[in-house]
Structure 1
Amino acid sequence: MKWRRLLSIKQGSTMIRNIGRYVTSSQVSLGDKLLFLIPIFVYWIWPLDLLPGLPIDDIGVTLLLMGWFTTRMSRKYPNIKSR
């Protein structure tokens, strides 16, 4: 995913909406959901951080994982409607 597309507000809102669909969908396996949620949760609470005290790197990692997850899920589960 290109940086310009990743940082756009429209693309960000679409990614958040699609992630909500994928995480709450009964068609997506629990393993796929955990493959997205666990790394983000661990990175946010991990005491060793790239920029301690600043959430900038946490937000960046979360955005990258969101882009990867939505791309992967749209290919793996094409029957779930994404916008």
Structure 2
Amino acid sequence: MRKLLSLRHWKHLFVRIGQLLVSKQVSLGDKLLFLIPVGLYWILPDVLPYLPIDDIAVTMVAAEWFARRTERKYRLPTKLN
């Protein structure tokens, strides 16, 4: 729980997401698997009007999932150069 409230954790996570999204090692399909749902949720939040989750919370959960899945799938270090 403490990790979820840490600004350092989220800063590190979004830096990792940026690195993964520009990495040539990660396939376009995997990048789109993150970008399309998050982008659609930001643009069309009324698709799920009864779900009390904010856009930022959805993005944070998706970012955490994308980073872990992609780093495991491609056996990438947690910090790309």
- Find the counterpart in structure 2 of residue 20 from structure 1: 18
Q: Count matched residues.
A: 77
Which of 39, 56, 70 does residue 73 from structure 1 map onto?
Answer: 70
- Find the counterpart in structure 1 of residue 60 from structure 2: 63
The structure-2 alpha-carbon separation of the partners of 1:80 and 1:30, relative to structure 1 and needing over 3 Å to count, comes to farther
- Write the deviation string for residues 12-58 of structure 1: whole angstroms up to 9, x where unpaired: 0111111011100111000000000000000011151445xxxx710
Structure 2: unaligned runs, 5 residues or longer: none
Structure 1: unaligned runs, 5 residues or longer: none
Q: TM-score, normalised by structure 2?
A: 0.81
- Find the counterpart in structure 2 of residue 35 from structure 1: 33
> What is the percentage of aligned positions where both structures have the same residue?
48
Taking only aligned residues, the RMSD between alpha carbons, in angstroms, comes to: 2.0
Q: TM-score, normalised by structure 1?
A: 0.79
